[in-house]
Amino acid sequence: MGILSNSTIPYAGGLIILWWLYRLVKDRQSNPNRLPFPPGPKGYPIIGSLFDFPIYKSWLVYDKWFKTYGDMIYFEVLGQPFLILGSAKRTNDLFEKRSSNYSDRPRLPMAGEMMGWEYVLTFLPYGNWWRRQRRIFHDHFHPNIVHKYQTIQINTARAFLRRLLKSPDDFVHHIRHVFASTIIKVAYGITIEEKNDPIITNVEICLEGLAEAGNPGAFLVDIFPVMKYIPDWFPGAAWKRKAARWRHFNGLLRNGPWDRVKDQMKTGTAEPCIATSILGKLPDEGSPDFAEADFIGRDVCVVAFLGGADTTVSTVQSFFMAMCIYPEVQKKAQAELDEILRGRLPEFNDRPNLPYINAMVKESLRWQLVAPLAVAHMCTNGDEYDGYYIPKGTIVIGNGWTILHDPEVFEDPLTYNPDRYLKDGKIDPTVPDHNLASFGFGRRICPGRFFSDSSLFSIVAHILAVYDIRPGLDKDGKEVEIKPEMTSGLLSYPEPFACMITPRSKEAKDLIDNSSLMDILG
């Protein structure tokens, strides 16, 4: 299925020809050494590789293409050049060593202007506004400060154990709830409801839209921005109505919690959090600088909330799936936890003594990537690299899935195997890990990765300390075979699967029941 299925190409014929001619002339003028483009499918005149452009699980399609064309694939779709990178060497050469030219983002009219994601740090163009937002975000999530949030992470992890005990079949909902409740407490000091909280509903709707529209070319309007002026009632414009719905919920999420904290600060009822820290430093409301500072603070908080509420959700779902498929890994992890914990729940100060759990965190992030293609970069200026020419405006994508499933780096890469990171019972620092690709690349690497890492450790350690996870049963009482299938989109999740989650023993159940009494207060 290609890009045509998402839009209204019959209305864009003239634009296609004009755009192609413009690109053709421009590329010839800006490539003075007449270097070839990197290898890739040649496509057809004007439309390029339109009919080959992958939409469904495109990272797997590109992975196959690498075997034909090598670790760089270049192609064009309706005049828009794409470059897909399939090795750590290529991503390092361009995103790290030439970061000043490869840190911009492509314009995404659907996700940005039409759905309202243009303010999100992830999609901001490379420039001063991005630097200001990134700097404030870093102030609250750098590796030397995330320990401040461990109390909240421990408390929400233990509440998660209690929810699993009450309704284990709802584990997917509980996973989303635990991460949403953690980050909203950190960002806004808000405690969400146990059930049917409208904030979680808003998050789910917003991220549904992001997963569908976040990859360049998912909608034809990303190639031809003028299409955003097509009226909503026009035949074939259902995509515009989708955008309007998602934009509405994006606005609720962006403004609701922030305005709530502002009102709480006026009444003296706000809890200490990132929002109160930022609001306390804003200029006076009458100041000419207030509006801009308020916008940046608002956006930093909602970006933290969106990232923390969702990305690790997929990883934990994949972890549950892995425990069903690889019971021997689960038993090994539980043996390590039993030896260290001796009948209590884990704390963060146990982490140095739990190498196998730390290896599981690494493997969970590598095995099934949350964002297999990360977020696309853009080439700011035409570039010459390794004997090839890369035109200005090329959308450059690092295929993280291929990088983290390279059999020359990760033996038997489709297997979930934490032992690959261990040597003599300790983490082997010489082994490459998920940081090659799981959080993005270069200057645009996810700044919340340290918070995500500590949240994932806490959840994995807590779950395995007290629960056994097994595949669900069919009508004949036999365990259902679970295959590691993932959904398509910018954000990828495990396809629905059933599993049984039961306390490991009576003592484990008692720990769960009494965990509210053991929550850290602070």
Mean per-residue pLDDT over the chain, rounded: 90
Q: Which string of b and e fits 373-399 if b means at least 16 CB within 10 Å?
A: bbbbbbbbebbebeeebbbbbbbbbbb
Annotated binding residues, written as ranges, equal 446
Q: For 500, list phi and psi in degrees, rounded to 5.
A: -105, 130
Q: Please give the pLDDT value at position 228.
A: 87
Residues forming the annotated binding site for heme?
446
The structure tokens 């690790």 sit at: 312
**Whole-angstrom Cα distance, residue 522 to residue 31?**
61
Distance (Å) of CA 129 to CA 278, 301, 305, 445: 17, 15, 19, 17
Closest CA to 102 of 440, 510, 396: 396
**CA–CA distance, 461 with 185 (Å, rounded to integer):** 21
* Residue 290 contacts residue 282 (beta carbons within 8 Å): yes
Q: Please report the DSSP string for 412-444 in residue order.
A: STTS--GGGGEETTEE-TTS--GGGTTT--GGG
Instruction: Please say whether the beta carbons of 479 and 306 come within 8 A.
Output: no
- Strand pairing class (383-385; 422-423): unpaired
pLDDT at 344 over 50: yes
Confidence band of 222 (pLDDT split at 50, 70, 90) = confident
The fraction of the chain above a pLDDT of 70, given in percent, is: 93
Q: Which domain holds residue 9?
A: 3-518
pTM over 0.85: yes
The Cα–Cα gap between 284 and 290 comes to 6
For residues 220 and 6, the answer to whether their CB atoms sit within 8 Å is yes
DSSP three-state, residue 258: helix
Number of structural domains (the chain) is 1
- What are the pLDDT digits (tens) for 3-31? 444 444 455 555 556 655 665 566 555 78
φ/ψ (deg, to 5) at 215: -90, 130
Average pLDDT (503-519) is 87
- Residue 10 pLDDT: 52
Reported as half-sphere exposure (CB side, CA atoms, 13 A), residue 96 has a value of 10
In tens, the pLDDT along 43-76 reads 898 888 989 999 899 999 999 999 999 999 999 9
Q: In this predicted structure, what is the pLDDT of residue 494?
A: 96
- State both tokens at 435: 């940081």
CATH number at residue 422: 1.10.630.10
Strand, helix or coil for residue 422: strand
The DSSP secondary-structure symbol of 12 reads G
Helix (H) or strand (E) holding 510: helix 506-513
CB-based contacts of 467, cutoff 8 Å, min separation 6: 161, 164, 501, 502, 503, 504, 508
Strand-strand pairing, 395-398 and 80-85: parallel
At 208, the pLDDT band (50, 70, 90 cuts) reads confident
Q: What pLDDT digit, counting tens, does each position of 243-290 carry?
A: 999 999 999 988 999 999 999 999 999 999 999 999 999 998 888 889
Nearest Cα residue to 403 out of 90, 91, 95, 88: 88
